[in-house]
Amino acid sequence: MYSRIAGTGGYLPERVLTNAELEKMVDTSDEWIRSRTGIISRHIVSPGETTVDLAEHAARAALQSAGVEPQEVDFIVFGTTTPDLIFPNCGVLLQQRLGIHGCPAFSVEAACTGFIYSLSIADKFVRLGEAKCALVIGAETLTRMVNWKDRQTCVLFADGAGAVVLKPSDEPGIVSTHLHADGRYQDLLYYPGGVSKGWVEPGDGQGVQMRGNEVFKVAVNTLGRIVDETLEANKLQKSQIDWLVPHQANIRIIQATAKKLEMPLEKVIITVHEHGNTSAASVPLALDVGVRDGRIKRGDLLLLEAFGGGFTWGSALVRY
């Protein structure tokens, strides 16, 4: 038994924040942001709008594209680092929004790799026959944790939600997933406050802390290694991958991974220019964009990959 993606969905908040607006907020320029990151604009939540608000839109779109009623969902796993509440977890809040009751629902906190971790977990439950219709979410309101005076981070992060529905299948589907973490890199990218350590507001030198240059180098190396690991585990040649669906952190990191795969950028789903880095939402959002605009077709072989704070990183080889 395998699991396969039966439908995808995505949602971005309405408010668009352009580089031109950021020029008025911090000492930066459209040219700097574009050339160093590839980002031109990004979507951010409005006051009162939450991670679960975004996730509900994405989930409903995924259910619709899978032709599934909410009542059929029997498993919810929700990747996020920016939950609405400490508890109930976002999976349960989403379950309630969808009007369903009783199935397991939980969130997974793995920063930008949250969706890949969640997909891997859901895949196991479907394969074991313990779930027949799994809803997998990646959703974030990362801009709530950004220090809007820190020009290095505030130009990067953004908000959004993506979702997939997994159903059982005789053929793969999710061919393999590969998950990793290494806490030696925790100081390169982190948020300085939490519940048991004490909350820290994201202003005045606080907010997401990042050593951008070092993150960049480790990300390129790590993603290069996980591409090799995924290909080797499946005895695949690079040329057999139809689409790379990467975490949308920085166009230069995406280009480096594509180069490693010897893939032209035409075979890479790129949304970073309009989405920015939406953390756990970025891979499912990019997947949804590629599916809906008709580039990704049934039967295509996809390589999904992500890395994030921790560091955590992971990949999924998917026969769509």
Could you list the residues that contact ligand COA (CB under 6 A)? 28, 32-33, 36-37, 112, 151-152, 155-156, 189, 210, 212-213, 215-216, 249-250, 277, 308
Residue 71, number of CB atoms within 10 A of its CB = 12
How much of the chain is helix, strand and coil, in % rounded to 5? 40, 25, 35
CA-based nearest residue to 188, from 215, 156, 207: 215
Residue 311 or 320 with smaller CB distance to ligand COA: 311
Pairwise CA distance, residues 37 & 163, whole Å = 25
Residue 172 or 212 with smaller CB distance to ligand COA: 212
Set 19, 90, 112, 178: catalytic member: 112
Is 250 an active-site residue?
Answer: no
Residue 100 or 280 with smaller CB distance to ligand COA: 280
Backbone angles phi, psi at 172, to 5 degrees: -75, 135
Pairwise CA distance, residues 247 & 278, whole Å = 9
Set 57, 178, 247, 275: catalytic member: 247
C-alpha torsion sign, points 64, 65, 67, 69 = negative
Is 133 an active-site residue?
Answer: no
What is the smallest separation between the CB atom of 132 and ligand COA, expressed in angstroms? 33
Residue 83 or 308 with smaller CB distance to ligand COA: 308
What is the smallest separation between the CB atom of 48 and ligand COA, expressed in angstroms? 26
Question: Where in 58-211 does DSSP place strands (E)?
Answer: 75-79, 105-108, 134-141, 159-169, 174-181, 189-190, 209-210
Is 277 an active-site residue?
Answer: yes
Residue 121 or 249 with smaller CB distance to ligand COA: 249
| Partners of 78 in beta bridges | 107, 137
Nearest residue by C-beta to ligand COA? 212
Residues 6+ apart with CB under 8 A from 40: 18, 19, 30, 33, 34, 273, 274
| Residues that are catalytic | 112, 247, 277
